[in-house]
Amino acid sequence: MKKRSTFHAALLSCLCASMLSACVVEPARPPEPAPLVEVVPEAPAPGYHWVKGHYRWEGNHWEWVRGHWAPN
């Protein structure tokens, strides 16, 4: 009975270890900076709407994506 219990404990330990080895932990990111103030230029033509600029996580830093006009 003791051998069976030890075997089950070892099997459970191996199972847990294999499951945890598949975990991917993303490094902590610094908080997103305050948005930049953009001057909205005149629309290029009727039927366009302004898409606000925003930050995007790029590799290991926040990168500003400028606002732009997009067709409706």
CB within 8 A of 33, min separation 6: which ones?
A: 55, 62
Tally of structural domains, the chain? 1
Predicted local distance difference test score (pLDDT) of residue 10: 79
pLDDT bin (cut points 50, 70, 90) of residue 12 is confident
Mean pLDDT to the nearest integer, 34-39: 97
Mean pLDDT to the nearest integer, 22-47: 90
Mean pLDDT to the nearest integer, 42-63: 97
Predicted local distance difference test score (pLDDT) of residue 11: 80
- Is 8 within the bounds of a domain? yes
- Is 54 within the bounds of a domain? yes
Domain region containing 51: 2-25+35-71
- Is 30 within the bounds of a domain? no
Mean pLDDT to the nearest integer, 39-53: 97
